[in-house]
Structure 1
Amino acid sequence: MSEQVFDHIIVGGGTAGCLLANRLSARRDRRVLLVEAGGNDDYPWIHIPVGYLWCIGNPRTDWLWRTETEPGLNGRALRYPRGKVLGGCSSINGMIYMRGQARDYDGWARLSDDPDWRWEACLPWFKAHEDHWRGADAAHAAPGFDPGGRRAGGEWRVERQRLSWEILDAFAAAAQQAGIPASEDFNRGSNEGVGYFEVNQRGGLRWNATKAFLRPVQHRDNLQVWTGAQVTRLLTTREADGALRVSGLALRPEGHDHDAHTAGQPLQVQLSPGGSLVLAAGAIGTPQLMQLSGLGPAADLQALGIPVQADLPGVGAHLQDHLQIRTVFGVSGVRTLNTMAASWPGKLRIAADYLLRRRGPMSMAPSQLGCFTRSSPELPWPDLEYHVQPLSLDAFGEPLHRHDAFTASVCHLNPTSRGTVRLRSPRPEDAPLIRPGYLSTDEDRAVALAALRLTRRIVAQPALARYQPQELRPGATIEDEAELLRLTGDIATTIFHPVGTCRMGRADDPAAVVDSRLRVRGVRGLHIADASVMPTITSGNTCSPTLMIAERAAHWIAGST
C-alpha cells in the first residue's frame, strides 16, 4: 500500500468529501482516494430522520468532541457533534436545506477580492447538484434539461416536510401578526419570513451526501474509498526552488472494514507529481490536521514540539458558530410531541404512521418551522433565525417534558464573537481544544437581549392566545437585562454550525489560509474545500453552502491538472 500513488487524495468522507470524490473521479484517467476515519453509513438510525437522536453522542457516528468551558455561557462546556461516518455531518445533522442570504456571498467576494464568489456567481453551483421538489426555475434546479437544452440539476434532493403541527401553524400566524411576512422559499437570496423548512430527504428518509454523491460512483475503478483510517499528518517536501509541496499523507488504520492495509501498521500514501490533496475534514478536523502536520501558528506548534513547516497564523483562528437561545413556552389546549410520545400507545401510533406512510414525528427534522427576521427595524436585512419545535426538554438528548410545550430557539446569524481550534497535544487521537468564544462581544450580547424581547412579542400575539403560552425558560418574570444575560448563558447552546477556521482572503491578509481558489497559501498542491474556508458564517444552516464550496473546488482542481 505504501507504494500506491494517487492523483487526488481527499481527506474526509463527509458532506464535501463525498461530492469531491464524485466529481474528481469523473475523469477516468485520474486515480482518486477518499479517506474517512469513521465507518460506513449502514447504521439504520442514520437514515430515519428522527435517528439523529441516536447518532449524536454515539461513538459510531460522532467524534464526541466538547468545547472548553465558555465564559459567555457561565462556565459551561458544550457537546460539539461532528460526523465520524461516511456522509459526515450530513449523516447526523438536522437535514435543513438552507443557502443563506445573497449578501453573505457578496461579502465573501469583497473579502477575497474575487467577484466569482458573488451570489450570482455561486447560484449556478448550488443548482448544479440540486434536485428540488418544485422543479426548475430561476432559483432552483431538478434533474433534466434547462430550456437551452443543457443538462441541469443533480443529486442533492430537497423536499417539503411530511408533517404539520397546530402549534407551529399558530406560531407562524403570530409571527405574521408581529410584522414578519410568510415565506414559502427561504432560498432565493433573501430568507426573510416565516414558514416550514425544506429538508434533504427522499420519501421520508434522510438523504445524505453518501447516497447523493458517493454510492452512485463507488463502482468506478479509478476511485478507492478507505474507511476506518485516521489521517495522522500530511507529508511535505521541498522543491528545487525551496517551495513547500504536499506529497501525501500518513494514516493509521482503525476500522475492521478497511481491507487495504496491514492491521495496525501506519501507512504512507503518495501523491503523483503535480497531484492535489484536498482537506475536507470540516471546520474542526481540518485545522487540527494541519497543525499536526506543522502548518499553523508557529509559536503554538513549537510549544508542542511540532516542527514548523509553514507559519500560518490563521489556521484554527476565526472560529464562528451560531449560538441558539432556547426559549420554552408551556401551552394548553393543543397536543405537542411531549404528551404524544409520553405513552406506549402514542409511541406505537407514531411508529405505525412512519412505517406505513413515512410521515409523522419519526420523519421530523430536529426543527420544523423557520423564521428569519431582524433584531432591530433599522437593520437592512434579517439577522435572526428561529428554529421552532413542537416539544421541549432540558437539553439535547434529555427526555421530553411531560407537559405540552414548544421551543422557539433563536440565533444571531452574524455573530461578531470569534473563537479558536488548537491542539491539545501532538497526539492525533487527542481531541482538539475548541473555544468558540460565545457572547464575547457587546454586539452579540445586545442582539441576544433583542432576540429574547422579540420572541416574547411574537408569543404575545393573538394567534397564540388560545393556547395560553407561559414562558418557562428563561422565565416571564425576568426583565432585568443583566439577569436575562446570565440566564441566556445558562440556556444557550450551539446549533452545530462551526466555520471559518481556515478562512479565505486576499493576498495581503496575513490571517487568510486559502486564496479565492481554495489553495493553501505557501503549500503547493494543497487545497481546502469545507466550511473552514468561509470568511464569514452564512445566514443560516451551513450544510448546503459547504456542498457549493466543494462543487466549485472540484471544478477548479480538475481544471488545473
Structure 2
Amino acid sequence: MTRYDYVIIGGGSSGCVLAARLTEDPDCSVLLIEAGKDISRENAPEEVLSGYPAKAYFNKDFTWPGLQAFLGGTLGNRAETRRTAKYEQARLLGGGSSINGLIANRGAPTDYDRWAEYGGPEWRWEAVLPYFRKLERDLDCDGEYHGKDGPITIRRFPREDWSGFVSAVAGLLQARGYPYIEDQNGEWRDGVMPVTSSIDENEQRVSCALAYLTPSVRQRPNLTILTETMVRRIVFEGRQAVGVEIESGAGPRRIDADEVLLCAGTVHSPAMLIRSGIGRAADLRELGIEVVADRAGVGQNLQEHPAISVSCYLRPAARLKNLNRHHTQVHVRFSSGVEGCAPGDMCLALIARSAWHALGQRIGSLYFWVNNSHSKGHVSLRSTDVRVEPVVDFNMLSDERDRVRLRQAFLFLAEIAHAPELDSVRTKVFPANFSDRVRKVSSPGLWNGIQMRVFSGLLDAAPFLRSWLVDTLVTQGITMQALLSDTAELDRFLDRSVAGVWHPVGTCRMGTEDDRLAVTDGHGRVHGVGRLRVCDASVMPTIPSANTNIPTIMLAEKMADFIKAERKALATA
C-alpha cells in the first residue's frame, strides 16, 4: 500500500509552497495531488505565462466548471436581489497564482495583529513580516520591508509605462491631496501608488507552480506530483486522519499518509472537510455522512472584497499602447472614516484596459473594492458527490458598513470620472456591471474577438451614436444620471452588480478549541481530530486589506516552518 509522510490535497499557491519546502528534507516524502492540469515551464500555455492576465483568468479550461456563487446581499429582503453568478476558482497546478491578476501586495500590519487575536502571537505583523521577505525577490525596493532572494519576483510599473488615462486620473488625485507613494508594500498609509506585481524581468507571470516547483524541486525523489486527480474524501480511523481516497480509472483508491495537509482553497477545503465527516453534526447527518468531529464553523465566516466600477470610453491618445502590458497600473488607498472601519479600508484600481479584446482596449475603468470588508457568508454541501460544486453564498453588503462604503465609493468614482480635468482623455462615462453577459464576451476566442472589434470600430466611427449604443447595448439602460439622482435606485444597482475580486477567505478559520466557530488552531491543525491540517486562505480569520495571493503564500511559508519544527521535535523526543 502506498504511504507518504504528507499528502497535500490541492496544488494551488499554498500546496506548491508546502510541497517545495517540506521536501527540502530528503527524509520527508510528499505527495501533492491537484485536480487540474500540470503547469511547468515546459508546458505552460502562453496565456498563463503572459504578464497580461485577462486571457488566463477567463479561460474555462483553467477553472472549476459549474461553480456558482450568490454575491449580493438581501436589500429589503427581496428575492430578486439574490442572484448567482459564475465564480472563477483556479483548477490547475499553481492555483490562483497561475491565472490571477498578478497583484502582489500584502495588506495592513493591523490585519495580522487581528489574526493574532485568533491564532496567537505567531501571526502578529512582526512575526509574519519575515515570511513576506522570505518569499519575495523585490527588484525595486530595499530596506526592512523587503526580501531580495525569494522565489516570487516583485516589481512595480514605472510612471512612464502608465497609459494616458491612468496618468491623468493619478495626476488628478494627487492634485486633490493624495500623496504619491513609491512602495505599496512599505509603510501603510493612504496615497497613489504604482501597483506591485509578480511579473518577472521578461514580462512573464511568476506562478507558484513555476517559482516553487522548479525543475530541480520536481526532480527530488521524495516528491510525487499527481495531477488531474480528484480526492473524494479524507480517510479516518477513529479521529485520526490516515490518508485520502482518490478517484481513479479502476475505482476509488486509498493512499495512506502520516499527516494530511488540506490546501484546496476557501471554497473546496470546507467542502472536503464536510464530505469527510467534519462539520456541524446535524448537517452531516442530513447528508448521510458519519460524524467524525462536530465543528459548527466549517464553511462559515466566508469573506470577500465587494467591488464595483465606473468605466470611461477613452480617446485614442489615452489608450494603452503596449497590449502585452498589465492592465492594472496604479492603486489608490484611502480611508472611509466610517465608524468601526480601519485606516486604508478602501482601494481603487486604475485600469488602463478593461478586457483583452478591442472594446476592452477602448475602456478605462475605476475599479473599487472595500479593502477591509465585514460581511460574512458560508459554504455548504448540496451533495456528497465530489463532482457536485458546493453552495457558495458570500452575502455581500449584509453588513451595513460595507453597503455604506460601497455607495460612498461609487459616488466618489462618479465624481472623479466626470471631472473636467479628464475631458482630454475620456468621453462617455458609464456604470460597469460584471454580468454574465460581460463574462461571456470576455472568454477568449476568435468569435468574441471579431464581435468586439466590429462593435468598437462602430463606437469610434460614430461618436454621435456612442452614448446611445453604450446605454442600450453595454449597460442595458442603466445610466449614471439615474443612479446619481436616486439613492434607492443606486442601492438596488449595487445589490445587483456587486462583484467579488476572487479573494475568498475564512471558511476554516483559526481559533482556540473552545471557540465554537473555530476550525483550526494557529498552526492549521483541525480541532477534534489528529494528523490533519488546513494550510490555505480558508484559515484566515479576517480578510487582509490586499489581494490575497501574497498573503496566502506567506501563510503557507509559515505553516511549512510550523510543520518542519514539529517533525523535528517528534524525531528528537
Which TM class, normalised by the smaller chain length?
0.7 to 0.9
Q: Which whole-Å CA distance do the structure 2 matches of 1:403 and 1:237 have between them? A: 56
Give the secondary structure class of the aligned counterpart of 2:110.
helix
Distance 1:368 1:231, change over 3 A: same
Does residue 1:437 correspond to 2:395, yes or no?
Answer: yes
Give the secondary structure class of the aligned counterpart of 2:127.
helix
Q: Which whole-Å CA distance do the structure 2 matches of 1:556 and 1:192 have between them? A: 34
Structure 2 partner of 1:96: 103
Does residue 1:386 correspond to 2:348, yes or no?
Answer: yes
In structure 2, which of residues 42, 45, 60 is the aligned counterpart of residue 43 of structure 1?
45
Structure 2 partner of 1:407: 365
Contact 1:100 1:191 in 2 (8 A): no
Contact 1:506 1:512 in 2 (8 A): yes
Q: Tell me the amino acid that sits aligned with residue 251 of structure 2.
A: Q
Q: Which whole-Å CA distance do the structure 1 matches of 2:244 and 2:507 have between them? A: 21
Contact 1:505 1:512 in 2 (8 A): yes
Structure 1 partner of 2:550: 544
Contact 1:423 1:433 in 2 (8 A): yes
Structure 2 partner of 1:375: 336
The structural deviation recorded for 1:489 is 2.6
Q: Tell me the amino acid that sits aligned with residue 204 of structure 1.
A: E
The structural deviation recorded for 1:405 is 3.4
Structure 1 partner of 2:475: none
Contact 2:349 2:368 in 1 (8 A): yes
Structure 2 partner of 1:209: 208
Give the secondary structure class of the aligned counterpart of 2:117.
helix
The structural deviation recorded for 1:64 is 4.7
In structure 1, which of residues 485, 490, 503 is the aligned counterpart of residue 491 of structure 2?
485
Contact 1:100 1:189 in 2 (8 A): no
**1:351-409 Cα shifts (integer Å, max 9, x gaps):** xxxxxxxxx22231x5222111122387661111112212347xxx8x55389432111
The structural deviation recorded for 1:35 is 0.7
Whose helix proportion is higher, 1 or 2?
2
Contact 1:25 1:32 in 2 (8 A): yes
Q: Which whole-Å CA distance do the structure 1 matches of 2:2 and 2:509 have between them? A: 32
Structure 1 partner of 2:243: 248
What's the TM-score once normalised by structure 2's chain length? 0.84
**Please, which moves more after superposition, 487-496 or 55-64?**
55-64
Matches within 5 A, 1:378-527: 381-392=343-354, 401=359, 404-461=362-419, 463-467=421-425, 470-473=428-431, 475-477=480-482, 478-527=484-533
Q: Tell me the amino acid that sits aligned with residue 377 of structure 2.
A: G
Q: Which whole-Å CA distance do the structure 2 matches of 1:402 and 1:93 have between them? A: 18
Contact 2:168 2:425 in 1 (8 A): no
**1:262-300 Cα shifts (integer Å, max 9, x gaps):** x343210101xxx32111111011111111101111111
In structure 2, which of residues 4, 7, 12 is the aligned counterpart of residue 6 of structure 1?
4
Q: Tell me the amino acid that sits aligned with residue 369 of structure 1.
A: V
Structure 1 partner of 2:570: none
Matches within 5 A, 1:22-421: 22-41=20-39, 42-68=44-70, 70-72=72-74, 74-112=81-119, 114-134=120-140, 136-143=142-149, 154-161=150-157, 163-190=161-188, 192-202=190-200, 203-215=202-214, 216-238=216-238, 244-253=239-248, 263-271=249-257, 275-332=258-315, 334-337=317-320, 360-364=322-326, 366-376=327-337, 381-392=343-354, 401=359, 404-421=362-379
Q: Tell me the amino acid that sits aligned with residue 386 of structure 1.
A: L
Distance 1:468 1:33, change over 3 A: closer
Contact 2:526 2:532 in 1 (8 A): yes
The structural deviation recorded for 1:462 is 5.8
Q: Tell me the amino acid that sits aligned with residue 520 of structure 1.
A: V
The structural deviation recorded for 1:155 is 0.6
Gaps of 5+ in 1: 144-153, 239-243, 254-262, 341-359
The structural deviation recorded for 1:516 is 1.2
Distance 1:64 1:139, change over 3 A: farther
The structural deviation recorded for 1:57 is 4.3
The structural deviation recorded for 1:137 is 1.6
Distance 1:190 1:28, change over 3 A: same
Contact 1:391 1:400 in 2 (8 A): no
Q: Tell me the amino acid that sits aligned with residue 455 of structure 1.
A: L
Gaps of 5+ in 2: 75-79, 432-478, 568-573
Give the secondary structure class of the aligned counterpart of 2:61.
coil
The structural deviation recorded for 1:513 is 0.6
Give the secondary structure class of the aligned counterpart of 2:311.
strand
Aligned residues: 505
Distance 1:139 1:333, change over 3 A: same
The structural deviation recorded for 1:302 is 1.2
Contact 2:72 2:496 in 1 (8 A): no
Identity %: 32
**1:8-54 Cα shifts (integer Å, max 9, x gaps):** 11111110111100111111111111111111123332111335424
Q: Which whole-Å CA distance do the structure 1 matches of 2:28 and 2:410 have between them? A: 53
The structural deviation recorded for 1:331 is 4.1
Contact 2:353 2:360 in 1 (8 A): no
The structural deviation recorded for 1:335 is 3.2
Q: Which whole-Å CA distance do the structure 2 matches of 1:557 and 1:402 have between them? A: 45
The structural deviation recorded for 1:482 is 1.0
Q: Which whole-Å CA distance do the structure 1 matches of 2:111 and 2:416 have between them? A: 27
Contact 1:334 1:404 in 2 (8 A): no
Give the secondary structure class of the aligned counterpart of 2:359.
coil
Distance 1:247 1:400, change over 3 A: same
Distance 1:269 1:420, change over 3 A: same
Give the secondary structure class of the aligned counterpart of 1:78.
strand
The structural deviation recorded for 1:71 is 4.6
Distance 1:69 1:549, change over 3 A: closer
**1:213-256 Cα shifts (integer Å, max 9, x gaps):** 01240111111111111110001112xxxxx1110000113xxx
**Please, which moves more after superposition, 482-491 or 496-505?**
482-491
Q: Which whole-Å CA distance do the structure 2 matches of 1:430 and 1:110 have between them? A: 35
Distance 1:69 1:156, change over 3 A: closer
Distance 1:135 1:374, change over 3 A: closer
Contact 2:334 2:346 in 1 (8 A): yes
Q: Which whole-Å CA distance do the structure 1 matches of 2:557 and 2:246 have between them? A: 26
Q: Which whole-Å CA distance do the structure 1 matches of 2:400 and 2:31 have between them? A: 46
**1:457-498 Cα shifts (integer Å, max 9, x gaps):** 433556424335543115145232111111223332211000
The structural deviation recorded for 1:128 is 1.2
Distance 1:324 1:235, change over 3 A: same
Contact 1:116 1:122 in 2 (8 A): yes
RMSD: 2.2
**1:186-227 Cα shifts (integer Å, max 9, x gaps):** 112515221221211112011100111012401111111111
Q: Which whole-Å CA distance do the structure 2 matches of 1:247 and 1:4 have between them? A: 12
